[in-house]
Amino acid sequence: MHEFAIDKLCQNSPFRDLPPLGKLILSLVLITSTLFASSPLVPLVVFFIGTALFFASTKFHAPRIYILAYLDALLVILVGALIIALLTPGGPIWNGSLGPVSLVITREGANLSILVFTRAVACFSVLLFFASSTSIPHLFIALRQVRLPAHLSELAVLVYRYAFLLLEQVELMVTAARCRLGFHDTRSSLRTMSTIAACVFGRSMDFAERAEYALYCRNFQGNFPLLNPPRKLTIWWLLFPTVIFIFMLFVASQTRVWMVI
Amino acid sequence: MPEEEILTVKNLSFSYDGKSLAISNITLGIPKGKKTVILGPNGAGKSTLFLHFNGVLRPDSGEVFYEGKKISYDASSLTYLRKNVALVLQNPDDQIFSATVEEDVAFGPLNLSLPREEVESRVEEALSWVGMENLRKRATQQLSFGQRKRVALAGALAMKPKVLIMDEPTAGLDYEMVHELLELSDELNYRGVTVVISTHDVETTYEWADEVRVLNSGNLVFSGKPEEFFEQGELLHDLGLMPPLAFQLNQQLHWRMGRPERPFPKNIVELSQKFFPVDIHGIGRIRVVCVDRAESLEAEKRSDGEPSPFHMRSGVYGAKARRRANEGRVDAHYRYHALDHGLLLASLGQDFVLYTDSSLYPLVEARVKALEEETGLHIELTRQ
């Protein structure tokens, strides 16, 4: 299943044991630096950094679901960029028509759409790196360092764990329903899916009750202790992204007037 | 002299909804250091009883005792109780919370606020008991059902409990894993842990248990030795149970041939000896090789040369020996039921090599002695 593939990727990433907060800060810095750029150069640099980190994180074995997600996002971004190119006023560089609708792409629109496209693609590659190297439980536990209430982080860890179990249940129920012709037409598919959704809700209540018993059986004292907590944020993980951020700002300021068209 | 009970319930009643009783006024004890089966159909109240043993549920009426002391439900008493009485739930997914195997096994010891070194050592030991040491960094959602069962058991073992309670431990497991689990239970029991399991399986109950408590619709209907229970034909009929095959065959032997019913044969070796007795002299021997003693393994190598002519007549017994066999460090044919196979082959005049941990040697010796006492079959046991 795809959700397991994603989780497996995090667990096997060579960057898994780096401080999750450090990775989060680095990712946020890279993403934010693209917003300060008015030319596509900085987003392109960020894109290459993000992509390189992503491939290193997956050891060049990215699962198909990642590639599909990437292509999916690329399609949405492309459509958005095209709309921006068509709607932004300025000096026309291309005229056309789509039936009764006349289409004009302006220089300003084209530049803006290229900028938006490169920003979005760059940010997505950075997000892919982060998602492939940091598991949700690690992230939430690390967030305790920045005073996230322990209850919230533990709740998130439990939700994450039980989400997989519920997904397994859904998969089983869908298979069982399919065996009994539950998806033979649109109407029955809708009815089956709604029944499954209601059933999963009931199961989740059942899970919660049994999980409570199990927690008490194992001497739960009100918090989740960890044998190997994720590494804590160090000063280097603040300095390193800061240097990158300053460098990106410098590049952005030097290429302010650098346009593709 | 009555047996010492480690867990006792007196006049226990409990209802989940305040109307129908899940457990109805039962009084029973779990003998210390024994292997006890709680037998009963679904809905008999087995899991509810276990949750009372662990202090998770409080009785509506009645009392629960641990080592003769009534359980008081304050935080420190419950911590003490749960440290000593570990419960493994039927569905491992109910009790695996953590992201990775080692984190989950460490969950209980960390809750006891033990030093990190102690927790590390317990995690390692528990994972090695269940043969999961190679998967300690694995994410829990990436495990198979059998592996999850092992992790759940390791989580309980890491508490180093005096009583290990397992709710339907064999449900959903393949034959090998069932056997491994029961053998592990034997080993733990031999090391002093009181083991309690619930099951519907009469064969397991008859062969494995020292004691049986039978529940039906929340009521205790029998308490005693397994063979005594299976002698009660009317009760079995009412419960919709069939006696185990070995028990039935022995009964037929008694009725048809007039042979004495006792001692009751509980496994294939005892059954074979009762049906087809062999001459008690001049039979094969079992050579025990201790896998934890390097010189013992060396001696085995020297005597056998390579390849081992004993391969088809060798087996591993116990978690450590099985691990060595899985790692390819011990060349053994039988990975499961090795002791039974060894005894069977020895009774047919063949020698057998049994690889085991030296601390389990007395257990092997006790099995051989018990067989001799029950059947008169003398099997020579040598240790290397």
Kindly report the pTM of this predicted structure: 0.81
Q: DSSP H helical segments within B162-318, as ranges?
A: 175-190, 202-208, 226-230, 233-239, 245-257, 268-275, 294-304
pLDDT at B58 over 70: yes
Residue in the block written with tokens 């008169």: B376
Which residue of chain B is at minimal alpha-carbon distance from A137? B99
Which residue of chain B is at minimal alpha-carbon distance from A4? B142
For residue B370, name the pLDDT band (cuts at 50, 70, 90). confident
pLDDT at B85 over 90: yes
Pick from B376, B378, B374, B379: nearest CA to B250: B374
In this complex, do B138 and A164 lie within 8 Å of one another by their Cβ atoms? no
Token representation of residue B8: 């006792």
Distance between CA atoms of residues A99 and A93, nearest Å: 20
Predicted local confidence at residue B208, as pLDDT: 93
For residue B62, name the pLDDT band (cuts at 50, 70, 90). very high
* Edge-to-edge strands, sheet with B163-167: B85-88, B163-167, B194-199, B35-39, B211-216, B219-224
**Average pLDDT, whole number, for chain A?**
86
For residue B236, name the pLDDT band (cuts at 50, 70, 90). very high
Give SS3 for B88: strand
Residues A162-177, mean pLDDT to the nearest whole number: 86
For residue range B158-208, what is the model confidence (pLDDT) as tens digits? 999 999 999 999 888 888 888 888 889 998 999 899 999 999 899 999 999
**Does residue A6 contact residue A69 with C-beta atoms inside 8 Å?**
no
Residue numbers in A near B116 (CB within 8 A): 227
Of the candidates B82, B119, B137, which has its C-beta nearest A217's C-beta? B82
In this complex, do B97 and A11 lie within 8 Å of one another by their Cβ atoms? no
Token representation of residue B348: 């047919």
Phi/psi for B232 (5° steps) reads -90, 80
Those residues whose C-beta lies under 8 Å from the C-beta of residue B161, and which sit 6 or more positions away, are: B83, B84, B85, B86, B193
Residues B330-346, mean pLDDT to the nearest whole number: 86
Residue numbers in B near A5 (CB within 8 A): none
Interface mutation target, options A218, A220, A228, chain B, most CBs of B under 10 Å: A218
Residues B102-123, mean pLDDT to the nearest whole number: 91
Those residues whose C-beta lies under 8 Å from the C-beta of residue B245, and which sit 6 or more positions away, are: B203
Distance between CA atoms of residues B336 and B175, nearest Å: 10
- In Å, what is the CA distance from A46 to each residue of A50, A113, A122, A224, B310? 6, 17, 6, 37, 65
In this complex, do B97 and A158 lie within 8 Å of one another by their Cβ atoms? yes
Where do the DSSP E strands lie in chain B?
5-14, 23-31, 35-39, 61-66, 69-70, 85-88, 163-167, 194-199, 211-216, 219-224, 285-290, 314-317, 352-356, 380-383
Count how many Cα atoms sit within 13 Å of the Cα of residue B302 in the half-sphere of its side chain: 7
- In Å, what is the CA distance from B349 to each residue of A171, B283, B356, B376? 55, 4, 22, 15
- Helices A41-57 + A236-254 axis angle, to 10: 150
Token representation of residue B225: 């030795």
